[in-house]
Chains A and B, each alone.
Chain A
């Protein structure tokens, strides 16, 4: 009797959608995301700029017109091209050792963007694992995770990073690891609470009911629902990591000169800044534009994947 009723109802529904001329299929979530992405100017502008910068950084040796370390003392402090005495040979001029500033900026981008991306990625892996464990298992595991987060939060991050770089030296790897240590907690905090919400939903209970292993539940039921959060935090943290790397290098406890990073360029330009301001304006504006583009892209990804999280 009951089955009869349901099947009739289902048949009626199909018939209605077949015959109803005004019936429109509701858009799928992917189509909705596509529409939001298409209309999001910030995402496209920021994303395009970030993509161009990433490509330039990856292909730095091919694109850079000069060797970033090659000194030419006959061509010291050539001003950039928009200055009267500037030349197109050195569009951004040269520094006090006659090194081509554009080439140093491009190679510096490789290091700054590389450190920013890798450190945010490692932080994402560590922080996500901790956050998911805390949120999924709750109880003591959660208490340990929150305790670690609290301890990390109460440490003065910049001072600790400076000390760690002073102890272990300012190499690429050390900076990546130090910054990863500085940034993992945001993922842990965010993913912990989202995991708690997801864990309480019916599809997780269903997976548990059919006897799925914890590993399977975490990896294939919970993780896919967290990925957009991870990507949003990741983009914003890349911007922050780039700023902190520049800060450390600027203070002399980051990438060691003559290797260029954007922070190193500002630090080197500082002694000349009263006479040749372009030496600090060029790398500074570059850091600013890249950070803003990454932020626009990150905000865009959040608006597109989870419009309800917008503020």
Chain B
């Protein structure tokens, strides 16, 4: 007898119960499942973010400085509430955070909420511009590379992509400053007053975010272009460009869309270097400064905030994908 059932059944694994339930239940259980995991992960990550600067063992001693006496350390601990048990401190912070109160910066006495809301627009602009730039370059390049597979153009595009992944971000930024800011004098090299100030930072991040999307587009297009429906579309004499961009790209570009959403979440905490090079007061730069100053209320809230946005975006992207492609939620 041919063994079509496969070794999974031989081992007596539980059959997947979802397969047999009605579609609606499957969708609902997938959503509930995904949501539960997201909430659990969010709680874990917030505990991690909270403990980050406390990992040295004694945050109060660090804050008080090297030559502080025990009494001074105790005073620092008391004034910041660091003398309470860890879980009380955490619950206190998390409880207030849920009501929108993230505490105050110990450096500037500014509410952490304000620090975040002031820095966020800068980083959001930077992330949005960079992603748009990376998509505008990556998709046409990926499509062309797939159409002209294994030609000099394809190889050139691959070299471009590999280079983009291998250039250190901070160094590329400095090179842009030297070239466009100092030697040519075309563009401002620091500040955030107008859109012109965002050109060089956008170029720096956009070029490093581009290669992954280009490779995904190329791989997706190569696969789609071999499929039957494309052959049919071509055979019935449709305009090749319509086949390429309307029929093929639409399917090939799905992974690029979800990667873009994930990259957006990544960039909120990942633009530190570029922000510090171009003197942009974004979220990353604020976090970097807070880290060097041991400003723990700012650090824990920014890290948790960025993580929460990421969790939300991936959840959203998963749910959208599951809605679009039934194979995902049933597997």
Contacts and interface: CB of A to CB of B under 8 A. Distances in A.
B91 interface: no
B236 to A, nearest CB: 29
Given A151-B41, A205-B7, A208-B11, A167 B55 contact: yes
A277 interface: yes
Contacts of B245: none
29 contacts: A138-B13, A147-B41, A154-B41, A155-B45, A156-B306, A159-B269, A159-B302, A159-B303, A160-B303, A164-B55, A166-B53, A168-B56, A200-B6, A201-B7, A202-B7, A205-B10, A239-B165, A243-B168, A251-B272, A252-B292, A253-B291, A273-B177, A277-B178, A288-B166, A291-B166, A291-B168, A292-B162, A311-B215, A311-B219
B45 to A, nearest CB: 5
Given A280-B175, A287-B171, 9 more contacts: A146-B37, A151-B48, A157-B270, A158-B270, A160-B303, A166-B294, A243-B166, A246-B170, A250-B168
Interface of B: 6-8, 10-11, 13, 37, 40-42, 44-45, 48-49, 52-53, 55-56, 162-163, 165-171, 174-175, 177-178, 182, 215, 218-219, 222, 266, 268-270, 272-273, 276, 284, 287-288, 291-292, 294, 299, 302-303, 306-308, 310-311, 314
A247 B294 contact: no
A296 B174 contact: no
Contact of A284 (B37, B55, B171, B292): B171
A163 interface: yes
Interface string A59-99: 00000000000000000000000000000000000000000
Given A154-B45, A168-B56, A288-B166, A251 B11 contact: no
Nearest to B57: A167
Contacts of B170: 246-247, 250-251, 266
A295 interface: yes
Given A200-B7, A247-B273, A151 B45 contact: yes
By DSSP majority rule, is chain B's interface helix, strand, loop, or mixed?
helix
B284 A159 contact: yes
Q: Interface centre among B7, B219, B311, by most A CB within 10 Å?
A: B7
Contact of B48 (A155, A166, A200, A277): A155
Given A164-B55, A274-B182, A311-B215, A287 B292 contact: no
A171 interface: no
Interface of A: 138, 146-147, 150-151, 153-160, 162-164, 166-168, 200-202, 204-205, 208, 239, 243, 246-247, 250-253, 266, 270, 273-274, 277, 280-281, 284, 287-288, 291-292, 295-296, 299, 311
Q: Interface centre among A155, A202, A287, A291, by most B CB within 10 Å?
A: A155
B102 to A, nearest CB: 16
A138 B11 CA distance: 13
Contacts of A200: 6-8
Contacts of A243: 166, 168-169
B290 to A, nearest CB: 9
A243 B268 CA distance: 19
Given A159-B302, A284-B171, A167 B53 contact: yes
Contacts of A155: 45, 48-49, 303, 307
Contacts of A168: 55-56
Contacts of B168: 243, 246-247, 250, 266, 284, 287-288, 291
